[in-house]
Structure 1
Amino acid sequence: MAGSLLCLLALPLTAAAPTARAADAPAPAQALLCRGTVTVSYDPPLTSVPKPTRVSGREDFVCLSGGVTGGFAADSYGTTAGCTSLRLFTVSTTTYFWDTGQTSHVTYTTTAIERLVNGTVLVTEQGTVTGGLHQGRTAVYQMVLPQPDLLACLGDGVSHLSGTEVLTFV
């Protein structure tokens, strides 16, 4: 999933001379590697009958390399969706907000959505970091969401799904 995020930072206050802003810092030499969780919400909940739905997603990352230790993204859009729809949460541009105060803007140009044998959905996106931290690098994002509860699809509906995700900038 991919989307823009809101970041809450706890930055230390000092009386030292001004320094370069974090957003102006050069990109770290090593690739960014982050893992996390994604939660996708549906309003109204998904049912077996496709209908106009507001889809909202939030991604929360813990990063193992790349000059940051964590971040997030969030976005929403309107679409027609139901429990059998494979278009669960995809957008073409995402802004990632990092715990350093920096951002990365990514334009995804390729999206593949696959339903795996166990019913889970694998979304893979690839694109370019078009601005901010790691500008010019290739971004690859993958998320896995579980199969919606079929009984819930026939009843009150599925209001959210949560899954895992991996983000790399190489």
Structure 2
Amino acid sequence: MRLSRLAGGAVVVVLVGALSAAPAQAATVEQVCVGTEVTTFDPPLTFTPRETTIAVSGVFPSCANAGAVTGTYAETFSLTASCLTLFDSGAAQRTFTWGGTLAPSEFQYNAVSNAAGAAVVTTNTGVVTSGGFAPAGAVQVVSLVTPNALQCLTAGVASMAGPTTLTIQRS
């Protein structure tokens, strides 16, 4: 009985404290871009895992910020990949180059890839550390179609393409 009263009292103190705390600042969206990413694999992906050089390039033909109305990026890295294990999670960095008046943005992020139906969805969450929009948080989501099994069994999958979105915001 005593324990339940203490627990109930703690809940009331926490709720009163939360209600009296200063309101959180709303995030200000600085940039939203919609585009396409192309990913190439050398050697092409098969069902056998092997060291693969992955080249990523993206274009944002439509961005909301007047100082950066378009954008591009490119990145190359190596990892062990196959048609069954396309991407790995981990830290990386890429540069967004803007069409407009803003300087390029250095984006340091953590990538997490997951299978979602017939797609591999990669979410890059991180921070713009320098250049245009710095400092600000950013999230980029890329969706690539799952490789065709017949291609994986024969010549392999040399490239994939899909939609990408980027949101940059300050808190």
Partner amino acid, structure 1, of 2:96: Y
- 1:105–1:129 CA contact under 8 A, matched in 2: yes
- 1:55–1:89 CA contact under 8 A, matched in 2: no
CA distance in 2 between partners of 1:39 and 1:91 (Å): 20
Tell me the C-alpha RMSD between the 2 structures: 1.8
For each residue in 1:31-81, what CA deviation from the matched residue of structure 2 results, as whole angstroms up to 9, or x when unmatched?
100000000000110001011111001010023322211010001111111
- 2:89–2:112 CA contact under 8 A, matched in 1: no
1:83 maps to which residue? 83
CA distance in 2 between partners of 1:83 and 1:39 (Å): 16
Is residue 2:99 matched to residue 1:99?
Answer: yes
CA distance in 2 between partners of 1:128 and 1:79 (Å): 23
CA positional deviation for 1:125: 1.3
1:127 maps to which residue? 126
Q: Output aligned runs, 1:10-159, within 5 Å.
A: 31-66=30-65, 67-87=67-87, 92-100=92-100, 102-108=103-109, 110-117=110-117, 119-159=118-158
More strand by share: 2
CA distance in 2 between partners of 1:138 and 1:63 (Å): 20
CA distance in 1 between partners of 2:60 and 2:34 (Å): 5
Partner amino acid, structure 2, of 1:46: L
CA positional deviation for 1:128: 0.8
What TM-score do the two structures reach when normalised by structure 1? 0.77
Q: Which runs of 5+ in 1 are unaligned?
A: 1-28
Q: Specify which structure has the bigger relative contact order, considering alpha-carbon pairs within 8 angstroms and separated by 6 or more residues.
A: 1
Moved over 6 A (4+): none
CA distance in 2 between partners of 1:86 and 1:143 (Å): 13
